[in-house]
Structure 1
């Protein structure tokens, strides 16, 4: 009978444990019961009390012992939240909570904080531009965004407001504009293909209707697109951007189809000048069977035979398969094709291909 009673008590304990294993029952210092999901932390508890309490939480006392905001609560714990007016939610807090309420409130707080930084940044930019006697216009702001290499103007304002971009460094933008302006003579100013053709003919003569890469830098503001890294010999075209001059793309560029189909009026003819003697960065991917001395043989072909300068090389080997990525400087596509052909002849190499 005693054994039966013992088994019955154990059964009831297991039953109660299984029934409530997804929840944690904890108490406030005044004895109020709070039910939270299993794995809930002191920070979850703080947001359960009130949004402002959660937002200012710096820690807690659990059963009179100091704990961090990420402390996991257990059944029967008495929890007292500690706060500070100087405390603010941050992204790491999302790793310390499990309840949807706490996550939503933290995300809301982060959004509000970001908006505040953006507004502060906008005010700082306006003030700095006024001091530099530059107009606060969408064109100038877009140029600032490009100068500081941010994806959007909102991101630019946010970084200025938060101090990631030092407000004093905005002055360097004006210095850059003045230096750039001083270096240039008469410049082609265009917004589409028609205006480019008209301007280039006016400056260089009626026989000129396309951009000569390497020869026209004195009259045309252009750069090589980073998305496809064109090199002499590639079939290319120019694309008139809104605020960053003309960008040169390969016709095989991943963005070429979208640019040509949706913005055909801003696509201009371009080709390489035969006098081009500049080295261009290209990438090669090499796959083969791993063996002792393979890397040495590859670098001999690159550096000794073809006199090519390497910028970087990364190598990985797994289960006898060698895979390497090499970035190097070449003069043209003919130069690159000769290099690919020579590397393909190295014993053990299975495939050599170009990547952007």
Structure 2
């Protein structure tokens, strides 16, 4: 501990170091008698975590929280005791890092996801939470040899999937590299060994090349009177492995294994050095990236270029200022201004702050902690594209992002109401993938809502979470409305409305049915998980012996009117495709709501055998919308026959959704057309018009 205090004295005042030492004594007493797997006293670990953060020059409250980060989780010390001894901010930091050990979960994955969710959400309030957790994980990885092999693999996988990407997202490159190397060592030791041996052979043959490039770069800079540092290095093993895996290449095919970093004092010098490098060695076309003009999502800035070096070997050169180098190594921690006394995330870079806000959006849209963690994982691997808004603002998105991802990156409301888009002044579909340099314009409509099909092509965590969250809430609202209508329909023959029933009786039934609110009960009814007839009779009679659940379908004097605007809790069967005017029946489908069939549908089966799920329905007087139905048109084999039929259908105000053609006997062709109609009368007019065409031999509705 004395060594740590001596190191901290280089930037912290004595009174703050005294507080840190007091926290050490507090933690040592709390962890007294506890040891790690290696056999050493437990307090060694939190002191090592504080040392890592001290190397990042973090403030004294963060260092105190690092020393105490396990006392709430692993000892009898409470959050209130920590707050009394060291203040509420330290207590919040310690609590944010602590796992959810008091809650029982069904699986290790669920418990792990919930703990990570808690930590990430605490991070949105104070970024120091994640810095403490990253330092904690780094020291655990350094001492992982004491763990059992299966625990090593589990912890290493979590490190590679979660913690190293978070360090990268926050721009803490030095920590990211070490986490990746240690995770690679313990998760894929055999693969790492192969790459290490191959790299050792390559390094031996190319050390002279590295020295030559360094010398020539320094000489060229000296001739132009440009001051700077030149450093040749090889890429770390996990980075090489990822490139091999992503690009499906053998080690011998990974060309830019060696890299050079040039660090200078000013931004304009970066571009002058780039010109010198391109004069010395030919640049590889398409391999130049200007992260100074357009920083990465984590705030990283540098010039990158791949060159053809001596002996035709590809080399990568990175050129940046000293300030950019400091940011690349320490990332968001470089912005922590411990001398000002400002706390929280007020000094967080704008790009990192935007990501933290996206975490909150993902949290609201996720169904549970496991789903939330999956959204975060998606968002932690941003191989970026850079696009522009019409006003020139740069937006950074994950590679493969679409127009919808862009809309949600602007704002959740923009994504939810997106109806069209224009890229570089050209109208495009909403699933169009974006490329760097494009200008994207989004068109919205107040009445528009997200489409579930968008989930098939969006790639960012924020877009996926927002869409799922909206659809989940939409389905619940629609289920409540449908459940209310179904229940009112069943209460009507009993001579009562829902509002007239005694609230105490409703509350008693909710308790008996294990429902927390009336809305929850209505959702159950709307989704078909509970019969409205049974609920209605229970609410009115409230006596078990007068109710026979098996007779749930006996009383249906009032039919439910189908308007066509009920949303996703009322669906129309694809087997028979009912349209307004068709005699219809409906079945409850648990979890889906109501499925409407034509009464003669062969898949409907015997309604008498399914009385417990049967619902009497009818079309409303003026149903809204258009409904798909299928017709089969047999035509003579003449050129343009399909166009003639399509024009006739279009003239009567219908759209053709799909066409399937097949030749029957060489003389005739069958056209199966999926068309949109408003009613059975509309369909009859279309079929009458098509039947009159000279090319048409026969027309029928499918299925008949």
When the two structures are superposed, what TM-score results if normalisation uses the length of structure 1? 0.46
Structure (1 or 2) with the greater strand fraction: 1
> Greater relative contact order: 1 or 2 (C-alpha under 8 angstroms, separation 6 or more)?
1
Larger Rg: 2
